[in-house]
Amino acid sequence: MSRIRVSILGGSGYTGGELMRLLLFHPMVEISQIASGSQAGHFVHSAHPNLRKICTLRFCHPDDLTTCDILFLCLPHGVSSGEIARYRALAPRVIDLSGDFRLRSPELYRRWYGHEHLAPELLPEAVYGLPELHRGELAEAALVSGTGCMATTSILGLAPLYRAGIVNQALPLVVEAKVGSSAAGAKAGPSSHHPDRSGAVRSFEPTGHRHTAELIQELGQLDGGAELKQIVAFSATAVELVRGILVTAHVFLHEQLEEKAIWRIFREAYQREAFIRLVKERNGVYRYPEPKILAGSNYCDVGFEVDLEQRRVVVMAALDNLMKGAAGNGVQALNCMLGWDETLGLTFPGLHPA
Amino acid sequence: MTAQCPECEAAIDVQGLMVGEITFCPDCNAELEVINVEQPEVALAPEVEEDWGE
């Protein structure tokens, strides 16, 4: 069987580099072109030094992209929606890893992004590219969105509880996400200057984070189809990691449920998922999800603890923001779209110690 | 030949184990004692207590 031809636009950033790292070893993919406005003409390894002697491609200019089977867009948020017709003319199927096509509702987009969407007519068509929730739709999709890294972590941690209908939505959902520096992208700024960023535990978006909208959309769909009406109190904190996210979420239940019942719900939801692992151990060092051991892997580890008296479940979920939070999840979505084994190109188990 | 973990309800394979043997839950890592292998049953293993013997 011949390999499919994949091209990447916006390939000089961290997500583009991670996609290259994965797709170069994907048995069903041939990388056709990788484009970058800022790096055109340079070798790929000049931006992604881990790919030296693995990839001899050079970045092309975005205007020089030719047709391919699948086009990945790794552009800054707000760019792809303005040029989407041009990009879709290059490939019958497009995977946009930016935030532009994650939301189905133009109104929800306006509320959380603060401006009108540039191609609102395409929002209903785009598929939210989280295979664990949208596997069936991905098989037929022509336009697939990436998923927000902190949103992915939160949604995968919480989805089983919402699907089970046990969450009391009269009380708020409280989510705190701790995230590493690579989530801020490859472009440096004053906030990423080493003396300021190193060692920081920085609340950078205690309210108003855009990933909240993805929780409202996706958890709402699991709980009856409409947007979530519950208050979602989401906050984000930058911590001393390069890769990794740890989400700690608090939900309150309609009734007291013992730990075994919650185990049952999570096990039922995830026992057949290749990339979701339940981590809740009585003993040892890694009793709950820990992003440190997930770097470079496509796993999302999910754990929980029950507070019977408060009818509260604390959900902990962790992943690598560049992998299951971006490029790895994109490759998993690609595998779904083509009807391949979802684990193709994604079998690296992470490092320990790391 | 599987018992159920009393902590998290995971399936515990007791094949090849003997009554009284200690095993671990593959999901929650609880330390378990095999109670019965004919009708598979495990229980949380007793905590090690300090021995103040002479």
Chain B contact present for A281, CB below 8 A: yes
CB contacts of B30 in chain A (<8 Å) are 282-283
Residues of chain A scoring pLDDT < 70: 1
Instruction: Indicate whether B52 belongs to any domain.
Output: no
Is A74 marked active-site? no
Q: A309 CB contacts (<8 Å, ≥6 apart)? A: none
- CA end-to-end distance (rounded Å), chain B: 42
A258: contact with B, CB 8 A cutoff: no
**pTM for this predicted structure:** 0.95
Do B9 and A263 count as a contact with CB atoms less than 8 A apart? yes
Pick from B9, B10, B29: CB nearest A284: B29
Contact flag A263-B30 (C-beta cutoff 8 Å): no
The tokens describing A326, both together, are 């971006």
Query: Does B14 fall in a domain?
Result: yes
Q: How far apart are CA A253 and CA A309, in angstroms?
A: 11
Tell me: is residue A109 an annotated ligand-binding position: no
Task: Quote the Cα angle for A140-A142-A146, to 5°.
Answer: 100
Q: Is the peptide bond before A49 cis (omega within 30 degrees of 0)?
A: no
The answer to the question of residue B26 being in a domain is: yes
Name the residue range of residue B6's domain.
2-37
- Alpha helices by DSSP H, listed for chain A, are 14-23, 44-47, 80-88, 106-113, 131-138, 149-163, 194-197, 211-222, 259-270, 327-337
- A100-104: long-range contacts, CB 8 A cutoff, minimum separation 24: A100/A145, A101/A126, A101/A143, A101/A144, A101/A145, A102/A126, A102/A128, A102/A145, A102/A146, A102/A147, A102/A148, A102/A151, A102/A213, A102/A214, A102/A217, A103/A213, A103/A214, A103/A217, A104/A128, A104/A217
Please count the residue pairs, one from chain A and one from chain B, whose beta carbons lie less than 8 angstroms apart: 29
| Res A224: pLDDT | 80
Give pLDDT, residue A223: 82
| Closest C-alpha among A227, A208, A213 to residue A162 | A227
Question: Domain for residue B30, yes or no?
Answer: yes
Residue B54 lies in a domain: no
CATH code reported for the domain at A4-147+326-338: 3.40.50.720
Domain ranges across chain A: 4-147+326-338, 150-319
- Cα A89 to Cα A190: distance, rounded to the nearest angstrom: 38
pLDDT in the model for residue B47: 76
Q: Active site residue: A74, A149, A300, A336, which one? A: A149
Beta-carbon contacts of residue A189 (< 8 Å; ≥ 6 apart): none
Q: Which residues contact A272 (CB under 8 A, 6 or more apart)?
A: none
C-alpha distances in angstroms, A346 versus A17, A332, B41? 15, 8, 38
Looking at residue A340, its amino acid is: W
Does residue B8 fall inside a structural domain? yes
- B43 found inside a domain: no
b/e map A325-351, b = 16+ CB within 10 Å: bbbbbbbbbbbbbbebebebbbebebe
Q: Is residue A264 less than 8 Å (CB to CB) from chain B?
A: yes
Count of domains for chain B: 1
**For the segment A323-353, what is each residue's pLDDT rounded down to a tens digit?**
999 999 999 999 999 999 999 999 999 999 9
pLDDT in tens, A216-227: 999 999 988 789
Amino acid A127 reads: V
CA torsion, ordered A24, A17, A33, A6, to nearest 10 deg: 60
Distance from CA of A278 to the nearest CA of B (A): 7
**Does the CB of A284 have a partner CB in chain B at under 8 Å?**
yes
Instruction: Confirm whether B48 is domain-assigned.
Output: no
3-state secondary structure of B25: coil
pLDDT of B49 over the 80 cut: no
pLDDT, residue A66, reads 98
User: Considering the domain A150-319 in this protein, what is its CATH number?
Assistant: 3.30.360.10
